Chain A
């Protein structure tokens, strides 16, 4: 077990149920305890939005890569970066451009491109976002403190199959000549879902 909070008497009912279930499944031989810890460690530390940020930074920096990403995002992401597999087997990149903003949702459950963004945040998996993104994406953006330029059209993608979408936000002005590492620091997780924009250079002070 994680051992973070060893208060025996404080354990919630759910905590006890899950501990019992884990013990049972290990004793039955259905799961390997080492594998459980490795799975958690993978999503806590290795797979996360820093992956997608690198993909976006390269698309910003390298027009040929951007076109490869457009033509076959799965191949471009896997061959260049190795971000493959579970919940990212079939990737599609959506490119924001002046006047066009993209937003991704899974109204039916919580489908999300894990290899490039990691595990989804609670709001993405919850009823308010799932129900409103397809009807009122600009209202959703307002909840995130984002206002798009007047007249911007918002194209919403509902991930109803195993295709997984990565939004490539627009590259902020004033970043000419920046390294990919520096550019990646501007790419937020929310910008790759479509509920945010890439950060402006002025908001990240100093040199990374």
Chain B
């Protein structure tokens, strides 16, 4: 999409634009740390907001809506409880709770997504590949602007958790090989682009091989 207007950086922008924003950040991170959902499910929940609401909501408002959706989906809270904050149902058991003492360690550990690969990489640096023409209804991390376009593999990053499957309710990590693919910006946008190249990080199922020497 285009037509969103100029970027308006705020000089010395404050971290927060409302008192509730840091609370939403903290609640989102703390709930994420329980193991109730994974980050791909979390992104999918945010993306699932109706487009009009998504595009007109502030960033942390989207986080709040996404978190409420995840909580309700899993029966961790009820609509009634969300409305006034008064607990009516017993809590559901969760794998863990983030305690104060564990915060530095948990933040410093993060959630690496690299996993052992179950087979060899299909592509190597220098390979010409085409990003698939596809339009999944679920969560995907292949931007529309590269679908169907030809690029070149720049780097191979090992196998990583695959968001398409990880974002489903089953949460299957199903790791796939991950590549950085470079696209000539003119191939994506035409001659008026001011970019020379655009790189995306694409999992192997997103890519098709091209025969050596294939034209554009």
Contact = CB atoms under 8 A, between A and B. Distances in A.
Interface stretch (B105-113, B120-128, B208-216): B105-113
B68 to A, nearest CB: 7
A158 B193 contact: no
Interface in B1-38: 1-2, 4-10, 13, 15, 17-20, 22-27, 29-31, 34, 36
Nearest to B98: A35
A123 B7 contact: yes
B10 to A, nearest CB: 7
Contacts of B47: 109
Interface in A79-125: 82, 84-90, 107-110, 115, 119, 121-123, 125
B91 interface: yes
Nearest to A145: B9
Contacts of B9: 121, 123, 143-144, 190, 195
Interface residues of B, number: 85
Nearest to B89: A28
A21 B82 contact: yes
A204 interface: no
Contacts of A17: 20, 64, 82
A190 B7 CA distance: 13
B1 to A, nearest CB: 6
A29 B4 contact: no
B196 interface: yes
B119 interface: no
Contacts of A203: none
A131 B27 contact: no
A169 interface: no
Contacts of A40: 22-23, 25-26
A39 B195 contact: no
B77 A24 contact: yes
Contacts of B97: 29-32
A196 B193 CA distance: 19
Contacts of A173: none
Nearest to A118: B15
A19 interface: yes
B26 A128 contact: no
Q: Chain B interface secondary structure, helix, strand, loop or mixed?
A: mixed
A105 to B, nearest CB: 9
Contacts of B85: 19-24
Interface string A28-46: 1111101111111011100
Interface string A134-174: 11111110011000000001111111111100000000000
Contacts of A89: 110-113
Interface in B46-92: 46-47, 55, 59, 61, 64, 67-68, 76-77, 81-87, 91
B170 interface: no
Contacts of A1: 19, 23
B103 to A, nearest CB: 4
Interface of A: 1-2, 4-5, 12, 14-15, 17-25, 27-32, 34-40, 42-44, 47, 82, 84-90, 107-110, 115, 119, 121-123, 125-129, 131-132, 134-140, 143-144, 153-163, 190, 195
Given A39-B25, A134-B195, 4 more contacts: A21-B68, A31-B31, A85-B108, A158-B201
14 contacts: A18-B23, A20-B84, A40-B22, A109-B43, A119-B25, A126-B59, A135-B193, A137-B195, A144-B9, A157-B198, A161-B141, A161-B201, A162-B160, A163-B178
